[in-house]
């Protein structure tokens, strides 16, 4: 599967999950816990794992836990696609946490640095905190400089996120050797 088709599949699957989740709400409003609502819930839960990540979310998370090198690249592509659907933020946090323990190539570290910077600028959820915890694994000069620029020149919220990353970086440099 090419990068474009993989990303397209992630986005199409996210759209399907949003539609399935919306159906749960629609059927609940018509008749809470009625047969249509129960069927909508069952359909969502039956399809969730396969739609959340190509090949299955639970399988991908298990492979990351095993440090399977072949799942690292698809995981980074998934994070770059940044799909939005019910529970996607929690799934991304799990992936990011597990990536911390995986062997990363210099190119993968660079892309994670770009994701970290993007998350500080655009993500209003807890994901940026998990990306920050990856900071000690990725090219420091770029990340540190980008965060310092945001502390000095950006609005209060982005500056606060950047300050958080700098604090995590400072702490990790004092307490952990770089890989």
Neighbours of 145 (CB within 10 A): 10
DSSP 134: T
> For residue 38, is it left (φ>0), alpha (ψ between -120 and 50) or beta?
alpha
**Same domain membership, residue 53 and residue 37:** yes
Residue-range definition of the domain harbouring residue 42: 1-103
**Same domain membership, residue 109 and residue 96:** no
Domain count, the chain: 2
**Same domain membership, residue 130 and residue 91:** no
**Same domain membership, residue 70 and residue 108:** no
**pLDDT at residue number 3:** 66
**Same domain membership, residue 108 and residue 75:** no
**Same domain membership, residue 143 and residue 97:** no
**Same domain membership, residue 93 and residue 11:** yes
Query: Whose structure tokens read 């990540």?
Result: 53
**Same domain membership, residue 39 and residue 96:** yes
Residues 10, 93, 129, 179, CA torsion sign: negative
Which of 86, 103, 120 terminates a domain? The answer is: 103
**Same domain membership, residue 165 and residue 99:** no
Helical axes 69-81 vs 106-122, angle rounded to 10°: 30
Which of 63, 82, 103 terminates a domain? The answer is: 103
Alpha-carbon span 164 to 59, nearest angstrom: 32
| pLDDT tens by residue, the chain, 179 residues | 566 899 999 999 999 999 999 999 999 999 999 999 999 999 999 999 999 999 999 999 999 999 999 999 999 999 999 999 999 999 999 999 999 999 999 999 999 989 999 999 987 777 888 888 887 777 667 888 999 999 998 789 999 999 999 998 887 655 554 44
Alpha-carbon span 65 to 120, nearest angstrom: 26
Strand ranges (E), the chain: none
**Same domain membership, residue 75 and residue 26:** yes
Alpha-carbon span 57 to 83, nearest angstrom: 13
**pLDDT at residue number 2:** 61
DSSP 137: G
**pLDDT at residue number 7:** 95
Residues 26, 14, 9, 53, CA torsion sign: negative
Which of 103, 128, 160 terminates a domain? The answer is: 103
């Amino acid at each position: 599967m090419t990068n474009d088709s993989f990303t397209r599949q992630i986005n199409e699957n996210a759209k399907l999950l949003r539609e399935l989740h919306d159906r749960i709400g629609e059927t609940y409003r018509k008749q809470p816990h009625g047969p249509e609502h129960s069927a909508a819930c069952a359909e969502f839960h039956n399809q969730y794992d396969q739609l959340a990540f190509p090949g299955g979310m639970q399988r991908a998370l298990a492979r990351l836990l095993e440090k399977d090198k072949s799942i690292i690249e698809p995981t980074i592509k998934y994070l770059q696609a940044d799909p939005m659907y019910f529970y996607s933020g929690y799934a991304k946090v799990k992936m990011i946490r597990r990536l911390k323990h995986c062997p990363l190539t210099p190119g993968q570290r660079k892309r994670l640095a770009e994701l970290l910077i993007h998350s500080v600028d655009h993500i209003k959820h807890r994901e940026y905190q998990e990306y920050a915890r990856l900071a000690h694994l990725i090219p420091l000069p770029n990340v540190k400089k980008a965060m310092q620029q945001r502390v000095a020149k950006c609005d209060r919220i982005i500056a606060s996120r950047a300050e958080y990353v700098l604090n995590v970086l400072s702490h990790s440099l004092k307490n952990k050797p770089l890989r």
